[in-house]
Amino acid sequence: MNSDLPSLTKFLKTLQQVPYLASKNLYRVAAHFLHMDTARAEMFCQILLETKQRITKCTICFAWQEKDQPCFLCSSPKRNRDIICVVESWQELVTIEKTGGYDGLYHVLGGVICPLDGIGPEQLTIEHLVTRVAAGANEVILATNQTPEGEATAAYIASKLKGLPVTISCLARGVPVGSSLEFMDRLTVYKALSERRPF
């Protein structure tokens, strides 16, 4: 079948490179684009390419910003410039912003230290973070994910910041809001117990 439909096969291979597109949905997504009118498909491409042209990374916090405007996070007069929240990627930044409960600055690492994938500290923006913190900050929140790599990266950053006059904190661990203890894994319950808070 692949050799019978070369154009379609090429398109499927291209779609396959898009992450988080389950392979069982690949054919459905391809069908969506094939059924779309050409004008809409052209619009899709135009928006994709325009976005790539207009969006860049802030040279301070490494979050996405519009090329012709200052970073909306770093330049905001409403944000508390004393706290820097360190996140792995832009997705986590969005997640935190959506809570509406944080008004400090951010620092996007661009990944986590993962020697197996060949990602060392120098591939991340850790050096920039140290410079930023040294230039003045009261608190650094290490909000990397609760994975072995995320925690190792947080530990590495903490060691790099040692000696600087800054408070280092990390996210609370425990039972997620709305869940029952019964369905939690042992380690989470253990952490929730040992890191218990006053009522």
Sites of contact with a copy of itself (CB under 8 A): 1, 4-8, 10-11, 14, 18-22, 25, 27-29, 31-34, 36, 38, 41-45, 47-55, 64-66, 72, 89-91, 94, 97
Choose between 13 and 81: whose C-beta lies nearer to a copy of itself: 13
**Least separation in angstroms between CB 3 and a copy of itself:** 9
| Nearest residue to 91 via CA among 49, 54, 145 | 145
**Least separation in angstroms between CB 90 and a copy of itself:** 6
> Would you tell me how many other CB atoms lie within 10 Å of the CB of residue 198?
3
Choose between 4 and 194: whose C-beta lies nearer to a copy of itself: 4
For residue 30, the number of C-alpha atoms closer than 13 Å in the C-beta half-sphere is 17
Choose between 15 and 175: whose C-beta lies nearer to a copy of itself: 15
Amino acid at 156: Y
**Least separation in angstroms between CB 47 and a copy of itself:** 5
> What distance in Å separates the CA atoms of residue 150 and residue 147, rounded to the nearest whole number?
5
Edge-to-edge order in the sheet of strand 139-142: 104-108, 80-87, 139-142, 167-170
For residue 172, give the 3-state DSSP assignment. coil
Choose between 71 and 126: whose C-beta lies nearer to a copy of itself: 71
**Least separation in angstroms between CB 24 and a copy of itself:** 9
